[in-house]
C-alpha cells in the first residue's frame, strides 16, 4: 500500500514536470545521437539548462560536473539523464526541509502565507488545511486578505471542504486585528494549527510589507515565537521573476520556508534551483497541479530526476 502510494506521488510529480522535462529530454536525445561528448555538446547542454531557468551559475557547474564524468562512446540516454539528475540534486543539497506543524510542540502552531497576488497562497493554504484535518488536527483558517470579497469567499470554500474552522472580517477591516483575535481564540479553544492567508497586492510594495510586518508584530504579542512558520509562495511560471520576489519578501518578511507552485504549468521548472540557492530559507513544498494531492513535500532527488524526465 505504502509502495503504491509512493508510486502515485512520484507519478504526479513527473506528470507535473512534463513540460520542463520534455524540453530537456529533447536536447539530450539530440546530444546522445551525436557522440562523442565534445565541447559543442556541452555547450548545447548548458544552453538547455539556462533555457530551463536554472541560471548561468548552476548550469555552468552542472556541465562541469558532467564533463568530468568522461562517458564512454556507449553512453545511453538514461545514463546521461542519471548523471544530469545527480548534478542537479547536488546543487540542491541542504536546501530541503520538511514542513510539519504537527511535529512541533508549539500549540497552536501559526503559519503565515505571504507572496505576490496570484502566486498560489490561498490554494496552498487550502491544500495544507485539508491535509492537516485529514491527519486529525484541529485547524483554523484565517482570511487575512481582507481587501477582496472574492478572496474571503475562495478561502471559506477551502476551509469548509477541509472541515477547518474559519475566521474572517468585513471587507477592509484591519488584517492584523483579525490575526490577533484568531490566534487568541484558537489558543483558548486548544486548536493545533492556525493558517493565516494574506493579501498579495496593496497600493504598493511598501504598503504590502508594512501590512505583513504589522501582522507579525501583533502575533508576537500573543506568543513571541509566532508566527512559527512564514511560507513564501512563489509561482514557477513567472520564471526568473520568482528570484526578485524571493529577494523582496525574504529580506523583509522573515520567511522560514519556500513553496514553489505551478511547476506543472511551465517548461522553466528549473528556476527552483537558483531560488533555492538565493534564499536563506529552504524549499519545503512544491505544487504540481490544482488538486489537494498535488501539493508535495519537496524532495531534491525526486525533483531532479523528474526534471530530466527519469522514472522513479
Ligand X SMILES: Nc1nc2c(ncn2[C@@H]2O[C@H](COP(=O)(O)OP(=O)(O)OP(=O)(O)O)[C@@H](O)[C@H]2O)c(=O)[nH]1
Task: State the Cα angle at 304 between 43 and 265, rounded to 5°.
Answer: 90
Between residues 151 and 267, which has the closer beta carbon with respect to Mg ion?
A: 151
Q: What's the rounded Cα separation, in Å, for the pair 226 and 216?
A: 7
**Binding residues for ligand X restricted to 62-91, rule: CB under 6 A:** none
Question: In angstroms, what CA-CA distances link 157 with 138, 153, 161, 292?
Answer: 17, 6, 6, 13
109-114, strands of its sheet edge to edge: 165-167, 139-142, 193-196, 109-114, 229-235, 257-261, 283-287, 295-297
Number of residues binding to ligand X, judged by CB under 6 A:
21
Q: What's the rounded Cα separation, in Å, for the pair 215 and 208?
A: 11
From Mg ion, ligand X, none, interface partner of 115 (C-beta below 5 to 8 A by class) = ligand X
Q: Which positions from 249 to 268 touch ligand X by CB under 6 A, shown as an x/- string?
A: ------------xx-xx---
Q: What's the rounded Cα separation, in Å, for the pair 288 and 293?
A: 9
Q: The cell 557522440 sits on which residue?
A: 35
Calculated CA dihedral for residues 80, 84, 85, 87, nearest 10 degrees = 140
Between residues 119 and 304, which has the closer beta carbon with respect to ligand X?
A: 119
Shortest distance, CB of residue 40 to ligand X, whole angstroms? 36
Shortest distance, CB of residue 310 to ligand X, whole angstroms? 21
From ligand X, Mg ion, none, interface partner of 123 (C-beta below 5 to 8 A by class) = ligand X
Question: In angstroms, what CA-CA distances link 203 with 155, 161, 243, 252?
Answer: 22, 32, 22, 17
Contact status: 271 vs ligand X (CB under 6 A): no
Grid cell locating 255? 520567511
Q: Which positions from 183 to 222 touch ligand X by CB under 6 A, shown as an x/- string?
A: -----------------x----------------------
Question: In angstroms, what CA-CA distances link 211 with 33, 222, 297?
Answer: 55, 18, 29
**Binding residues for Mg ion restricted to 104-143, rule: CB under 5 A:** 121-122
Q: Which stretch binds ligand X (CB under 6 A): 64-72, 73-81, 286-294, 300-308?
A: 286-294
**Binding residues for ligand X restricted to 3-32, rule: CB under 6 A:** none
From ligand X, Mg ion, none, interface partner of 261 (C-beta below 5 to 8 A by class) = ligand X
Q: Rule CB under 5 A: which residues touch Mg ion?
A: 121-122, 151
Q: Rule CB under 6 A: which residues touch ligand X?
A: 115, 117-123, 145, 151, 200, 233, 261-262, 264-265, 287-290, 294
Amino acid at each position: 500500500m505504502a509502495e503504491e502510494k509512493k508510486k502515485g506521488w512520484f507519478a504526479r510529480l513527473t506528470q507535473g514536470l512534463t513540460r520542463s522535462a520534455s524540453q530537456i529530454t529533447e536536447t539530450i536525445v539530440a546530444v546522445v545521437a551525436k557522440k562523442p561528448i565534445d565541447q559543442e555538446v556541452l555547450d548545447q547542454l548548458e544552453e538547455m539548462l539556462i533555457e530551463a531557468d536554472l541560471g548561468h551559475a548552476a548550469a555552468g557547474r552542472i556541465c562541469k560536473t558532467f564533463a568530468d564524468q568522461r562517458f564512454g562512446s556507449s553512453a545511453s540516454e538514461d545514463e546521461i539523464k542519471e548523471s544530469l539528475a545527480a548534478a542537479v540534486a547536488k546543487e540542491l543539497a541542504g536546501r530541503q526541509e520538511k514542513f510539519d506543524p504537527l511535529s512541533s510542540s508549539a500549540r497552536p502552531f501559526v503559519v503565515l502565507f505571504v507572496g505576490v497576488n496570484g502566486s498560489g497562497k490561498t490554494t496552498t493554504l487550502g491544500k495544507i488545511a485539508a491535509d492537516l484535518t485529514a491527519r486529525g488536527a484541529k485547524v483554523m483558517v484565517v482570511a487575512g486578505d481582507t481587501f477582496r470579497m472574492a478572496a474571503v469567499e475562495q478561502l471559506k470554500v477551502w476551509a469548509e471542504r477541509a472541515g477547518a474552522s474559519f475566521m474572517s472580517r468585513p471587507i477592509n477591516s484591519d488584517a492584523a486585528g483579525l490575526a490577533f483575535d484568531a490566534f487568541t481564540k484558537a489558543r483558548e479553544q486548544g486548536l493545533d494549527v492556525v493558517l493565516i492567508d494574506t493579501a498579495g497586492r496593496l497600493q504598493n510594495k511598501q504598503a504590502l510589507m508594512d501590512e505583513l510586518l504589522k501582522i507579525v508584530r501583533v502575533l508576537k504579542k500573543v506568543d513571541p515565537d509566532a508566527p512559527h512558520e512564514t511560507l513564501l509562495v512563489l509561482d514557477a511560471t513567472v520564471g526568473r521573476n520568482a528570484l526578485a520576489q524571493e529577494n523582496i519578501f525574504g529580506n523583509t518578511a522573515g520567511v522560514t520556508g519556500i513553496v514553489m507552485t505551478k511547476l506543472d504549468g511551465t517548461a522553466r521548472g528549473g528556476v527552483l534551483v537558483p531560488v533555492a540557492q538565493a534564499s536563506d530559507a529552504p524549499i519545503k513544498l512544491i505544487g504540481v497541479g490544482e488538486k489537494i494531492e498535488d501539493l508535495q513535500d519537496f524532495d531534491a532527488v525526486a525533483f531532479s530526476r523528474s526534471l530530466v524526465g527519469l522514472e522513479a
